[in-house]
Amino acid sequence: MKKANAKTSCTISISTTSLSPTGGAGSSTLTVSTAPPDCDTQTATWSVSSNSSFITFSPSSGTGPGTVTVTIAANATGATRSGAVTIAGQTVNVSQTPSCNFVVSPTTLGPAPGIGGFGTVTITASPSGCSPSTWTATSNASFLTVSSASGSGSGTVTVTASANPSTAAGRTGTLTIAGTTITVTQTASAPPCNTQTVAGGDSPESHTYELGKKSGTFVFSYETYSQQDRMFVVYEGRTLFDTTCIGTNGTRNQTIPYSGNSTQVTINITPNCAGGFGTSWTFTVACPQ
């Protein structure tokens, strides 16, 4: 009887000799192959080892053809790092870029005017060359929209608030940009200029009006009749015009320039500023030119 020929020994090869993962955690599957096709795979044993703690693997050994899953931990060191995994005596070099740190500023926006408006959020990615550097921007409130739903590296996102339908209350919403929560506030809507003449009496009052512009010149018309009253025209917390304590005995018109970030002006009334009671007053805010 003729004896069968013995199989040749196997040569083991690995599907790659290098890995270049990004800074985030991840894994790669490497293929272990044997050659020639008719070699004795039962004797082709191999083992796996790593020289770095951020590189782990599974399985740790095998026989014949197979696969090895190499897992790389996230790189929070701020610099590129290197290591290696050895499979069947063959080295697979690993070079990993740092993961990105995103700084988002500001984390609060507003208050946006009730008429609607927008602001800008800045995203700064570091360190240089980090990866993955992609980020997303989403709105968690129906009245807020963002100009860019995603981006890469450093950039900006424009946030727009629609007009607030409520004249009684402001509102608050949030955004999530590059993993950071941004809080956005918006004031209540104010009645528009030119829409009404306000009349009052002995009670102190405060009325806010929407001018529709951040700068310009508007006319404030007021009358306090014979009983002395006082009115303050306030913009962004500062008094633009003070009637002083006066009884006008007729309508007076004051042209008032303004400029700033707000589109609203507030009229504060102090009735009977010289004492007494039974006063009456009126005023109108004209739209700016």
Tokens standing for residue 143: 């009245």
Instruction: Read off the pLDDT of residues 2-16 as tens digits, 9 standing for 90 and up.
Output: 445 668 899 999 999
Considering only CA atoms, which of 171, 208, 170, 164 is closest in space to residue 190?
Answer: 208
The CATH superfamily assigned to 101-186 is Immunoglobulins (2.60.40.10)
Rounded to an integer, the average pLDDT of 241-248 is 97
Instruction: Read off the pLDDT of residues 12-51 as tens digits, 9 standing for 90 and up.
Output: 999 999 999 999 899 999 999 999 999 999 889 999 999 9
Topology (CATH) of 198-285: Jelly Rolls (2.60.120)
The CATH superfamily assigned to 11-96 is Immunoglobulins (2.60.40.10)
Q: Answer whether 218's CB lies under 8 Å from 286's CB.
A: yes
Instruction: Read off the pLDDT of residues 264-274 as tens digits, 9 standing for 90 and up.
Output: 899 999 999 99
Rounded to an integer, the average pLDDT of 128-136 is 91
pLDDT band (50, 70, 90) for residue 1: very low
The residues spanned by each domain of the chain are 11-96, 101-186, 198-285
Q: What gap in Å lies between CA 289 and CA 286, rounded to an integer? A: 9
DSSP string, the chain: -PPPPPPPPPEEEES-SEE---SS-EEEEEEEEEESTTS-GGG-EEEEEESSTTEEEE-SEEESSEEEEEEE----SSS-EEEEEEETTEEEEEEEPPPPEEEEE-SEEEEEPTT-EEEEEEEEEESTT-S--EEEEEESSTTEEES-SEEESSEEEEEEEPPP--SS--EEEEEEETTEEEEEEEPPP-PBTTS--EEE-SS-EEEEEE-SSSEEEEEEEEE--SS-BEEEEEETTEEEEE--SB--SS-EEEEEEEESS--EEEEEEETTTTS-S---EEEEEPPP-
Question: Higher confidence at residue 251 or residue 2?
Answer: 251
Same fold, 101-186 and 198-285: no
Alpha carbon 175 to chain centroid distance? 6
The pTM for the full model equals 0.65
Rounded to an integer, the average pLDDT of 166-177 is 91
> Worst-scoring range by mean pLDDT, 81-85, 116-120, 231-235?
116-120
